[in-house]
Amino acid sequence: MGGGGKIPYPKHVWSPAGGWYSQPGNWKANTAIMATVIVGITAGMWKLSAEREYRTKFPEEGRFFPSRYWSKQIKEHEAQKNKSITDRVVEKVTGN
């Protein structure tokens, strides 16, 4: 009986990642680089999504709507609406 000696196997495990309990010396730099890459990709996708966002119905006035702050279409719509309100006030004050 016994179970040894028939199949040769290494006494230690090697892997490209460094094994089970790896703690490479440059782990802080690697983590910072990957965090920067993830933040960059997220920011790029956020910008692309905000540029491509299209609404057929605009949000109600005074209601909390987060994408109102970054959606180009909603910003332009609200700027045009505020401009028309300002024009009406100016007309009322000047009497034209």
Contact between 72 and 55 under an 8 Å Cβ cutoff? The reply is no
Residue 8: inside a domain: no
Residue 3: inside a domain: no
Number of C-beta neighbours around residue 54 at 10 A: 8
Q: Tell if the pTM clears 0.75, that is, is over it.
A: no
Tens digits of per-residue pLDDT, 41-51? 999 999 898 88
Residue 65: inside a domain: yes
Which residue did the predictor score with more confidence, 5 or 63?
63
Residue 15: inside a domain: no
Tens digits of per-residue pLDDT, 12-57? 766 766 665 567 788 899 999 999 999 999 999 998 988 888 888 8
Residue 11: inside a domain: no
Residue 5: inside a domain: no
Length of the chain: 96
First to last CA, the chain: 108
Supply the range of the domain harboring residue 70.
27-94
Residue 49: inside a domain: yes
Q: How many domains does the chain have?
A: 1
Residue 38: inside a domain: yes
